[in-house]
A and B are shown apart, each in its own frame.
Chain A
Amino acid sequence: RKEVEQDPGPFNVPEGATVAFNCTYSNSASQSFFWYRQDCRKEPKLLMSVYSSGNEDGRFTAQLNRASQYISLLIRDSKLSDSATYLCVVNPQHGNKLVFGAGTILRVKS
């Protein structure tokens, strides 16, 4: 089983739609969780951290479910500029290693 698994998509949604991605992780001792965004032929950039209590940043909401070992990202009112690959990232233990999921492709169309 992969350490971090994501549905690769693509998710094709119209502008204004709400879309959600899930990501599962295998190591129950994992401590830190993040969503990164990567545009085509660009470098990954941190979108948001995922806290146990869940967190929201504008149109983006991230949640963690430790019991089921998954994290989620909800995007409301999708914009064309949200089109990108969303990478689920997990720190399996305290230290310098982050494990990246394969990414979920989102395409927002007008």
Chain B
Amino acid sequence: DTEVTQTPKHLVMGMTNKKSLKCEQHMGHRAMYWYKQKAKKPPELMFVYSYEKLSINESVPSRFSPECPNSSLLNLHLHALQPEDSALYLCASSQEASIGTGELFFGEGSRLTVL
């Protein structure tokens, strides 16, 4: 079982809705990530938080807003999404702030459908 927990597992929302995806890890990891994965495509990096500070934003549209309330939690706030934003959103964490070992621990993902 994964040690990174994501909720909800499935989410359906309209283009005018506001929703949030949540991620939690209790491994004491110092970095947390949001990835987006479309069907039959690799995960694409969206955001990286190191020591609770945003360190990487891969030019993600502002309708996606990340938040890191503390070292164990990572949220992704969603507002005015488009149907093409439908995807699997994966949260991950790594022990070190720099991915020296390359081991990312992924959650099972939140499957988002935008109508």
Contacts and interface: CB of A to CB of B under 8 A. Distances in A.
Contact of B99 (A42, A43, A96, A102): A96
B101 A43 contact: no
Interface residues of B, number: 26
Given A49-B101, A91-B99, A98-B45, 15 more contacts: A32-B102, A42-B108, A44-B106, A45-B106, A46-B102, A46-B103, A46-B104, A96-B56, A96-B94, A97-B45, A97-B56, A98-B104, A100-B42, A100-B44, A103-B42
B99 A98 contact: yes
3 A-B pairs closest in CB distance: A100-B42, A43-B106, A34-B102
Interface of A: 32-34, 42-46, 49, 87, 89, 91, 94-98, 100-103
Interface string B38-62: 0001111100101000011000000
Nearest to A34: B102
Interface in B53-89: 55-56
A33 B103 CA distance: 11
Contacts of B98: 94-96
Given A32-B99, A96-B98, A103-B42, A43 B50 contact: no
A55 B104 CA distance: 19
Contact of B41 (A49, A98, A102): A102
6 contacts: A32-B99, A42-B108, A45-B106, A95-B98, A97-B48, A98-B104
A45 B100 CA distance: 16
